[in-house]
Structure 1
């Protein structure tokens, strides 16, 4: 496969997944902002949202130092100057799809194109402002549809494997960022006994985080217990059967890398395998004892390095 074609397919999938993950993070912040809480606590949540995506400098440049929930939502949804906004991601996904129209099935192309046309209609009609929660659900649904259509209609060749690589590399990155910022915001949960009111707030807070990764029902099924932070971390980091966990994402990255392996990719595969092995044999108590933030920061660095290696080995013309 031409490296240019592989590059477009890889980034089409990454941008689609990024739009979904941005919608998930905005949704969890929007839902938790509806809970009774002080303005200061609410502000921390929105600042965390910008920090996750490394967009604080760009936001500050445009809107000044004041973090306002409405401005953050507009910035993360419809601001075309923000490369990580939902509208920018969906436009980039559609442009990458258009560049390799011949490598996609009609259904896969039409799904991407329809998503782009539909989001413009919705934003122009004010549907996002009327019901943000419903809008975020729509973005998630279109991402699910795009993934389902590609898996259900495309030949299981290198084109599909590069798309899957992009999807799961992006998912690993985004889940790590979400876990890091949300645990950082509620560090106090790990220490001392919380008051009854705090415990009630924590239940809704952790429920919202689990729902943001479609993990609430899965948590109930796996642990059959009250929601505890260390178990949320275990579910989202180490469980190989949780679809959006770091472990499950890295399993997919390793498997798809093996399917497209070439003469110079052995070192890249070794790096991916090493990251996966640490998740496979890791223990959540160990991770928490050594520091969750340090673990996730290191994981993000290694995933970004892996993305650069994949680009060098497969996506940049020799």
Structure 2
């Protein structure tokens, strides 16, 4: 496969996944803001997860739900917006129309055209819930067409690789933005657990041990609500929620599962330059088994996650440089 084709497939999958992640994140925070309209810390977390806090501050004075949703949904000047992500995915699909199926191009193109209409109608303001549901549904459709490949060859692996590394990056950023939620209330929750059971206190009393609504919104933003109910079948608690999002091998959306998928795909796609990538991917998988989730201060967990995000970004950079678009061997380059 031509490296140019591999690059377009890789980024098409990344941008499609990014649009869905943003839609889930914005929808969860919007629902949380309905419960606590006076709190803006959640919108700051959204900007932090997207990595555009500084860009926001240069152009805006206040952080409000209306402005952040518009900026992250429809602003073409924001390269991290949903509109930009789906636009980039469409342009990458256009570049590989000779390889991609007609259904894939038609699905992405129709999604882009319908999105432009919804943005012109400002659907993200008039019917916010329906707008985010539409983004998620179209992302599912696009991903389904992407992965319904007639042959599971290198092209299929590059699509999966793009989705997996984007999912890993998003999950790490999501956890870092809410690190204090996992740790700050964990000891309080555990200390009061026996009292809750012994005195049969109502659920509302349990929820006071930690920010239940914020934790629930976080699981929804990560699309982990159903996974929690299937695995734990119990009321939420911060420690197990952190373990689910970061370490749970049974849930393919976890950070550990995403990094392990990257590692396995890199092994299948290996080339003479990919040995350092394989080592880094393996190191990250090993680090996830020893994540400092218990008995740590929020600052310690946040510092560990920030370092992990930097290493995931380094892994993504090396994937693009040495695997997706590998340099030509010297003999080939000289002949060219």
TM-score normalised according to structure 1 size: 0.91
Corresponding residue SS for 1:285:
coil
8 Å contact kept, 2:183–2:293 = no
Give the CA deviation at 1:236.
0.3
Give the CA deviation at 1:186.
7.3
What is the match of residue 331 of structure 2?
none
Larger radius of gyration: 2
In 2, Cα distance between the equivalents of 1:26 and 1:9?
26
What is the match of residue 99 of structure 2?
103
What is the match of residue 212 of structure 2?
203
Give the CA deviation at 1:281.
5.7
Corresponding residue SS for 1:91:
helix
Which whole-Å deviations, capped at 9, do the CAs of 1:68-95 have from their partners, x for residues lacking one?
Answer: 2111111101111000000000000000
RMSD: 2.3
Give the CA deviation at 1:199.
2.0
What is the match of residue 332 of structure 2?
none
Q: Are 1:3 and 2:7 counterparts?
A: no
8 Å contact kept, 2:184–2:297 = no
8 Å contact kept, 1:172–1:246 = yes
Instruction: Map 1:233-272; keep pairs closer than 5 Å.
Output: 233-272=242-281
- Give the gaps of 5 or more residues in structure 2: 193-203, 329-336
Give the CA deviation at 1:53.
1.4
What is the match of residue 225 of structure 1?
234
8 Å contact kept, 1:44–1:185 = no
Q: Are 1:176 and 2:185 counterparts?
A: no
**Aligned residue pairs, count:** 314
Instruction: Map 1:294-305; keep pairs closer than 5 Å.
Output: 294-305=303-314
Q: Are 1:285 and 2:294 counterparts?
A: yes
In 2, Cα distance between the equivalents of 1:282 and 1:55?
26
Instruction: Map 1:3-42; keep pairs closer than 5 Å.
Output: 3-36=3-36, 39=38, 42=39
What is the match of residue 198 of structure 2?
none
Corresponding residue SS for 1:103:
coil
Which whole-Å deviations, capped at 9, do the CAs of 1:228-281 have from their partners, x for residues lacking one?
Answer: 111110000000121211011112111211221111111111111111122246
Structure 1's 111 and 291: CA in aligned 2 closer, same or farther, altered over 3 A? Answer: same
What is the match of residue 50 of structure 1?
47
